[in-house]
Amino acid sequence: MAEQTFDDRDGFIWLDGKLVPWREANVHILTHAMHYAGAVFEGQRAYNGEIYALSEHSARLVRSAELLGYRIPFSVAEIDQACRDTLAANGLKDAYMRPVAWRGSEQMGVAAQKAKVHLAIACWEWGAYFGEEALAKGLRLEIAPWRRPAPYTAPTASKASGLYMICTLSKHHATDNGYDDALMFDWRGQVAEATGANVFFVKDGVLHTPTPDCFLDGITRQSVIRLAKRRGIEVIERTIWPEELESFQQCFLTGSAAEVTPVGSIGPWTFEVGDLTRQMMTDYAALVRGNLPNA
């Protein structure tokens, strides 16, 4: 049976203020963002009919657009409601959601001041991002051939489509070589993140994570830091160099799609799927389902 594509599905997508049939949610081939990487987007999940950290995601979407020089013509509250409406229209309770904003086809060339800004929201059922086996055994990561850019070379605080080009290249390089994903360094050679998720390391019961000064300070990352501190676990945000990787005992990734996923190895370095990692997996799963009060 052929795998279902993302353009040929039943359901509805919210587009510029109204729900339209999934197959009719299209844009023109000369859409500016398609040529000049001007789209911004969010990835978020719904659990039991509630979208986790919804307003945080909507606010970040608005900020990302502003960092790219345009304004989304909907407020955070309106985006929140549009996400809820999209989830309901598709009859989903547990789903992945993709709000995306972009510049349209009114202008071609590098400049885009006259291009209309559009917003769409889609959602679909999506299980474990890396598969269920990864949750038990941990991911195999290689070192990416590409590095995260310096903040003075790109709007690195935005969740912008153009910044994911090197993530796709790195992910393809990893999977072509038999790995699950790749760990990316930054332009200085410091540990940064995976291709679509932040990274944490465990050493002697303490969590260590790179300072997000040239990549996204993920919403899931922030949630996990709060969960760890709630349990009295020390969290150190700092510069991490590759030569330190052999000193860590555990490692895991965090992201709205990845949730909390353990890592078994990065290149030549191996890690155990230990108790602290599993505790963060359990706590995060409880938090997003509303079963962990006051977190």
Among the candidates 124, 150, 179, a domain finishes at 124
Q: Are residues 24 and 170 in the same domain?
A: no
If one compares 157 and 3, the residue with the highest pLDDT of the two is 157
| pLDDT above 80 for 41 | yes
Indicate whether 295 belongs to any domain.
no
Among the candidates 78, 94, 124, a domain finishes at 124
Q: Are residues 280 and 143 in the same domain?
A: yes
| pLDDT above 90 for 129 | no
Q: What percent of the chain has pLDDT over 90?
A: 93
What's the structural domain count of the chain? 2
First to last CA, the chain: 43
Q: Which residue has the tokens 């909507």?
A: 58
Neighbours of 287 (CB within 10 A): 20
Query: DSSP assignment of 110-140, as one string?
Result: S--TTSPEEEEEEEE----TT-HHHHHH-EE
> Mean pLDDT over all residues of the chain?
96
CA 127-249-202 angle, 5° bins: 70
Q: Are residues 216 and 199 in the same domain?
A: yes
Give me the phi and psi of 135, to 5 degrees please: -65, -25
Q: Are residues 151 and 97 in the same domain?
A: no
Domain region containing 142: 132-288
Q: Which residues pair with 183 in a beta bridge?
A: 143, 194
Please state the separation of Cα 31 from the chain's center in Å: 24
Name the band, by pLDDT with cuts 50, 70 and 90, for residue 294: low
Q: Give the number of residues written for the chain.
A: 295
Q: Are strands 95-103 and 117-124 parallel, antiparallel or unpaired?
A: antiparallel
Give me the phi and psi of 43, to 5 degrees please: -125, 125
Indicate whether 241 belongs to any domain.
yes
Indicate whether 31 belongs to any domain.
yes
User: 168 to each of 30, 152, 238, 242, how far by Cα in Å?
Assistant: 23, 22, 26, 22
What is the domain-level CATH number for residue 165?
Answer: 3.20.10.10
Q: Are residues 92 and 117 in the same domain?
A: yes
Q: Are residues 139 and 117 in the same domain?
A: no
| pLDDT above 90 for 136 | no
CA distance 28 to 26: 7
What DSSP element (H or E) covers 126?
none
Q: Is 159 a catalytic residue?
A: yes
Q: Are residues 256 and 175 in the same domain?
A: yes
Neighbours of 28 (CB within 10 A): 10
Indicate whether 5 belongs to any domain.
no
What is the domain-level CATH number for residue 99?
Answer: 3.30.470.10
Residue-wise pLDDT tens digits, 210-252: 999 999 999 999 999 999 999 999 999 999 999 999 999 999 9
Neighbours of 131 (CB within 10 A): 12
Neighbours of 289 (CB within 10 A): 13
CA distance 144 to 247: 20
Q: Closest by alpha carbon to 56, among 165, 218, 276?
A: 218
CA distance 41 to 93: 21
Residue-wise pLDDT tens digits, 1-38: 567 899 999 999 999 999 999 999 999 999 999 999 99
Tokens representing residue 83 in the block: 């996400």
CA distance 35 to 266: 34
| pLDDT above 70 for 269 | yes
| pLDDT above 90 for 119 | yes
Q: Are residues 152 and 27 in the same domain?
A: no
Give me the phi and psi of 85, to 5 degrees please: -65, -40
Who contacts 116 (Cβ-Cβ below 8 Å, separation ≥6)? 103, 104, 106
Among the candidates 124, 143, 171, a domain finishes at 124
Task: Return the pLDDT at 293.
Answer: 59
Q: Are residues 107 and 136 in the same domain?
A: no
List the catalytic residue out of 93, 159, 203, 229: 159
CA distance 156 to 159: 8
CA distance 264 to 179: 11
